[in-house]
Amino acid sequence: MSSKKIKFAVVGFGHIGKRHAAMVEGHVQGEVVAVVEPMDDRRADAAATHGCSVFKSMDDMFAAGLQIDVVNVCTPNGIHSENALQALENRCHVVVEKPMGLFRKHTEEVLYKALQYSKQVFVVKQNRYSPTSVWLKSIMDEQRLGKIFMVQLNCYWNRDNRYYKPGGWKGTLDMDGGTLFTQFSHFIDIMYWLFGDIKNIDGRSTNFNHPSTEFEDTGVTTFDFVNEGMGSINFSTSVWGQNLESSITVIGEKGSVKVSGQYMDTVQACHIENYEMPVLPPANPPNDYGEYKGSAANHHYVIENVIETLSGKDLIATNALEGMKVVEMIERIYEKIRK
């Protein structure tokens, strides 16, 4: 086991990139040695905040010959896989923000490259660390509910013109990909983590009030789980004013549970045979980006897992295969609801 500093490079210094850099610097074994950012003002901000080297491109960064252990990919969705591949080709471990990519074929390339060079790919799925998610995982692993009959996932958020700004990548098919990738992939990941893969997918979608985006803002999909039971996802970013709900309801042979709240952080119902609901630790607040809010502020757990894994003290929490599966599930859902 090692306690030496792990050297990180952050690619993309927007809201999420800044959070990654802050979490790295907040760990005793973490050090930000470089930031890649095409915008001049953001590069200046990174240099002033972290005292690190800054570059306009990954090519420039790798040409500089810095010692880099890990590259954190915090760029638009559409180039996550491309950036991850370049980092792996330069023999770096990778932390990649969700989604791992927009197409399964691209995420497979990342997975194969990581295996080829014996490097780790950590996919950011920070909602797994929320107390309610940890609790749900424990009761599923213990089979407290018996056979699973039905699972319903509801994701109702607000994303208006404060979020979709003219000239940006958000709202485009090639860089954003859609609401299931950008807003709700964390919750689909939780569903996959708990219940596994899906089949027999059907559904529909529409765009109610986002004329500037290139994809739907609302959809409904139904499916069967490969293991057992049936499921559905209802989602929308057309909620007025602020986020409304992210919830999961599970109905099983021996009980039912519902976890709800704006960010799936509150146990609303727990009725399970011969089971007493434990007191859960408080949830972290959502990521606050000023004009809108995102999922739970749990990135420090992600960075801690990266450092602990690379130091030989822990195992990777969310690997490339899991990241690829979530992308593949969303891709299959979109094939049905966008037809």
- Mind listing the pLDDT tens digit for each residue in 69-97? 999 999 999 999 999 999 999 999 999 99
DSSP string, 250-290: EEETTEEEEEETTTT-EEEEEEETT--PPPPPPPPPEEE-S
Of 309, 315, 302, nearest to 123 by C-alpha is: 302
- Mind listing the pLDDT tens digit for each residue in 221-273? 999 999 999 999 999 999 999 999 999 999 999 999 999 999 999 999 999 99
Pairwise CA distance, residues 36 & 113, whole Å: 22
Pairwise CA distance, residues 140 & 251, whole Å: 12
Domains and CATH numbers, the chain: 6-123 (3.40.50.720), 127-294 (3.30.360.10)
> Given this model, what pLDDT does residue 293 score?
57
Q: Which residues of 7-21 are buried (b: 16+ CB within 10 A; e: fewer)?
A: bbbbbbbeebbbbbb
- pTM for the predicted model, two decimal places: 0.94
Please give the share of the chain, as a percent, with pLDDT higher than 90.
93
